[in-house]
Structure 1
Amino acid sequence: MQQLLSPSSSVTILGAGLLGSLLATSLARQGHRVQVFEAGGPDGVGSAAYVAAAMVAPLAESVVAEASIVRMGQHALARWPELIAPLPAPVYFQREGTLIVWHRQDASDAARLRALFERTQSQVRDLPTMQPLDAAGVAAADPALAGRFAQGLLLPGEGQLDNRQLFAALTLAMQQLGIEVHYDSPREVADFSPGEPGQCDWLIDCRGLGAHTQWREVRGVRGEVVRIHAPEVTLARPTRLIHPRYSIYVAPKEEHVFVIGATEIESDDRSGMSVRSALELLSAAYTIHSGFAEGRILELNTHCRPTLPDNLPAIRITQPRVMEINGMYRHGFMQAPALHDVALQLLNQGQSSLATEFDLALQGPAFA
C-alpha cells in the first residue's frame, strides 16, 4: 500500500453496521474526520449483527469454522473489553464459558462433537481445555439445569455481549465524536473519487450484502432467532443443545432475556420466520428448560449474513484509496475486532502482521 492515512485525514465509511461503526469511532479518536453513509435507520436495526446472539465462542464454533476464525475468536475475547471500555454507555459482556448438553439418545453425536473439539485444540494453541461433565457437574456448572441432563461439556472462557447495547453505545459515541452519520442514505463506491479535490481521502466499504453490486461474490445466508423474556429461567451462560437436525443455542442477556437460534439457510430471503423454524426453536428451548413455557416472545427475527464463497472474510483494495471489507458470515462478533485491527494496521502502516496471524485474505494489486 502506497497511500496511508495522514494526520487529520477525511474518511468516508459505507455502512453503519458492526464493523463500520467500530471503525468510525476508532478513526475519529485517532483525529480523522469521519462521515458514515447508512442505507437503513439508526441504532443498527438494518444490520445482521443487530439480530445476532453476539456470542464469542471460538471452540464451540470450530465445528463450522476454520482454524483462522477460531484464532480471530480468541483475539476477540481479549479485544472486546478494550473496545467497549471507552464507549459512553454500558455494554454487557461476560466470559462464563459455553455449556453443551444432550440427551442420552444423542450421545453418539456428542462423541463426534467432542472429537472435533479435540482436533481443534490440537491445531490452535492456547485454547482452554474443555471439561467433560457428569450430571453433578452439569448441575454445578448451572443449577438451572440440575436433574435435566446426565452429561455435558463446559468450554471455559468463551463469552458473549449484548449487541443491542453495543449498537446504542456506538451510536452515542459517534454523536459525541462529531461523526456525521447519514441514515437512510444508500451510497455506492462509484459515487466517490477518494483523493480528488473536494473528496474524502479514503473510502471504506463495510456494507455487507449491500455491497453486492461492488462485490458480486457475496451472498446471503439466512438466520432466524427468537428473543424471549423468561423470568423463570436463570441460565448463567450460553447453552447449546445437541440435536440430530440442528444444534440450538440459548444466549442469556440481562434481565432474563434470551436469544434462541439455530437455523442457517442458503438464501437471501428477508421475509418473516417460518412456522417450522419457530416451532423447532421454541420446542428445543423448552427441552433445555421448562421455564421457557411461561416466557413471553419479544421478537421473531430473521436476517441474512453476508458470506463469500469460502465462508471466510476478506479485505481488498482494488482501486486507490478504497478499502472493502466483507464476508463475516455467521461469526461477526468473533471476527469484527480482528478485521477492525487489521484494517487500522493497513491504513496506518501499509501492512498488517495480524492479517498473517489470522490467514486473512488481502486482495488487490496493493497487496501483490
Structure 2
Amino acid sequence: MAAIAIAGAGLAGRLFAWALARAGHRVDVFDAAAGPDPAFDAQDAAAFSAAGMLSPLAEQEQGGDEIAALGWRSLALWPGIVAALPRPVPLQAEGSLLLSHRADLGAAQRSLMRMPGAEALDVDALRRHEPMLAPGLRGWLLPREGLIAPLPAMAALHAGAGATRWHWSRAIDQVLPGTLHFRDGGHWSGDWAIDTRGLGARPPLPLRGVRGEIVTLSLPAHGLRRPVRLLHPRHRVYLVPRARDEIVVGASEIESEDRSPVSLRSAVELMAAAQSVLPALSEARITRLDRHLRPAMPDNLPFTHHEPGLLRLNGLYRHGWLLAPALVERLLAEAALARIDDIAHSTHRDDPSGFVALETSR
C-alpha cells in the first residue's frame, strides 16, 4: 500500500482517487475549491461545465488518430467504471449525429473526409433517428459514440472513492516526486504525488485556457435522443440530451482566457444555431448560462508524465470526458499502482454493462 497525494479534484483527480482507493492505497486529494460540488463560477473543475460527449469519430477531424484511439478505449472503460460507482450515472452509446444545413454542405463534406466511419443518412433515415429535427437538414450517423452526464458522474466518483481523504481550500504551489507544497507554506510527503491541476499547473507547463460556453435548457418532452453536432463554417454547435426535459447546448472552442459571464451576442448566436436544428427549442427555458476555460497544450494533445514518485496528467483540452479514463489507466499501469479494468470488474453493481439509459423521449 502506498501513500499517494493527488493535486486537483477535477475529473482526472477523481478518477485517480477512485481507482487508487479501490486498489487499497492511502489517498489524499487536495484542491483549491471550497468543496466537491460545482460553483459554476469558471474557477472550479472544468469538467462540471462540459457536455459529456463521448465522440471519438467526431474529434478525429481535428485531434487525429491518437485522440480517436484514446477515445475508443475510454468508451470501453466507462461502462465498467459507472457500474462500479455507488450512484447511478446516465451513460449511453447509441451513436451521435452530424448535421448540416444545405447551404453549408461543402464545408461539411470537407470535415467528413477526416471522419472515416460516418454513415450518410437520407431524409427518411434521419427522421427515423431523430424525428424532432428541422426539415431540410443533411445528416450522418457516427456509430457507437455516446454521452455521459458530468454532474452525476463527478458526484459519484467523489462518493465512490472509498477511504480517500479530501482536503478543500488547499491551493497547491508545486508538485514534486512524493511531495506537494502548498501556497500557505505547508507541505505533504509520501510515496507518490499526482498532478491533475489543469491551468493551476502553469508554470512550468505551457498551458493555455480555451473558453467553452454552455447553455442548459429546460423543455419537457424535447424528443432529442442522442447528441447532435451542427457542421457550420463558423460555429461548431452541439446539442446533448440530459433527460426528458433537459438539453445542453454548447460551442466547441473559443480562443480566449476570458472567464466573464456569457455575452448577449454569444448566447444569441449559440441558441439561434441550436434552434435552427431543433425548432422546438423556441419554447425552451434557460436554466443556466455557464462558461469555463479548458486547459490545452500548444499542440492541443494531452500531456502525460511518469517518473518515480510522480505522475502528471494535463492538457485534456475539450476532450476531458472522452480521454480521461484511458489516460488514467495508462499512467496507473506505467506506475504499477492499479488496473482500472480489474477494479471495475471486481466491484460492479448488478448490471455488468454499466450503461444507465438516459430518460429521453422515444
8 A contact 2:211–2:257 mirrored in 1: yes
Equivalence for 1:240: 229
Aligned to 1:337: 325
Root-mean-square deviation (Å): 2.0
Partner of 1:89: 87
What amino acid is the match of 1:187?
I
Match of 1:49 among 33, 41, 47: 47
Matched, 1:23 2:16: yes
Aligned counterpart for 1:261 among listed residues 250, 261, 271: 250
Which residue of structure 2 aligns with residue 306 of structure 1?
A: 295
The structural deviation recorded for 1:111 is 1.7
Which amino acid letter does the alignment assign opposite residue 263 of structure 2?
A: S
Other-structure match for 1:203: 193
Q: Say which structure, 1 or 2, has more relative contact order (CA 8 Å, 6+ apart).
A: 2
Which residue identity is paired with 1:231? Answer: P
Number of the residue aligned with 1:278? 267
Q: Within 1, Cα distance between the matches of 2:103 and 2:139?
A: 13
Of 101, 104, 111, 2:102 maps to: 104
Q: What is the CA-CA distance between 1:188 and the residue it aligns to?
A: 2.5
Letter matched to residue 42 of structure 1: G
1:83 Cα shift? 1.1
Matched-pair contact (CA < 8 Å) for 1:315–1:326: yes
Q: Between the two proteins, what is the percent identity of the paired residues?
A: 40
Conservation of the 8 A alpha-carbon contact between 2:175 and 2:193:
no
The answer to whether the 8 A contact 2:18-2:158 is kept is no
Out of 35, 47, 61, the position equivalent to 2:28 is 35
Instruction: Give 1:104 shift.
Output: 1.5
User: For residues 240 and 164 of structure 2, what CA distance do their matches in structure 1 show?
Assistant: 32
User: Are residues 1:142 and 2:125 paired?
Assistant: no
Map of 2:345 onto structure 1: none
Say if 2:172 is the partner of 1:187.
yes
8 Å Cα contact 1:27/1:34 also seen in 2? yes
Structure that is richer in helix per residue: 1
Counterpart residue identity of residue 165, structure 1: P
Return closer, same or farther for 1:190/1:86 CA change in 2, 3 Å cut-off: closer
Counterparts in 2 of 1:43 and 1:349: CA distance versus 1, 3 Å: closer
Q: Distance in 2 between matches of 1:108 and 1:271?
A: 35
Deviations 1:93-136 (A, max 9, x none): 0011111122211121222122222xxx3xxxxxxx32211111
| Structure 2 letter corresponding to 1:188 | D
Structure 1 letter corresponding to 2:128: A
CA deviations 1:6-62 (Å, max 9, x no partner) are: xx1100000010000000011011110000001113335211111000111011111
- Provide the TM-score with structure 2 as the length reference: 0.86
CA distance change for structure 1 residues 76 and 190 in 2, over 3 Å: closer, same or farther?
A: closer
* 8 Å CA contact 2:252, 2:318 repeated in 1: no
Q: How far is the alpha carbon of 1:64 from its aligned partner?
A: 1.7
Give the structure 2 partner of residue 218 of structure 1.
207
Deviations 1:276-330 (A, max 9, x none): 2101111011111121111111111110011111111121246x51222111001
Q: Structure 2 residue aligned with 1:156, among 140, 143, 147? A: 143
SS of structure 1 residue aligned to 2:75: helix
Deviation at 1:349, TM superposition (A): 7.2
Mapped contact 1:17–1:44 kept (Cα < 8 A):
no
Give the 3-state SS of the residue equivalent to 2:210 in structure 1. strand
For structure 1, the residue ranges without an aligned partner over 5 or more in a row are 1-7, 122-128, 351-368
Residue ranges of structure 2 left out of the alignment (5+ in a row): 39-43, 181-186, 339-362
For normalisation by structure 1, the TM-score amounts to: 0.84
Cα gap change, 1:10 to 1:349, in 2 (>3 Å)? closer
Whether the 8 Å contact between 1:102 and 1:149 is mirrored in structure 2 is no
Work out the number of aligned pairs and report it.
Answer: 327
Shift of 1:190: 5.2
Q: Find runs of 4+ consecutive structure 1 residues off by over 3 angstroms.
A: 190-195
Q: Tell me the residue number matched to 1:361.
A: none
Match of 1:316 among 298, 305, 319: 305
- Distance in 2 (CA, whole Å) between partners of 1:223 and 1:282 is 14
Counterpart CA distance in 2 for 1:41 and 1:283 is 36
The alpha-carbon distance between structure 1 residues 44 and 346, as it changes in their structure 2 partners (threshold 3 A), is farther
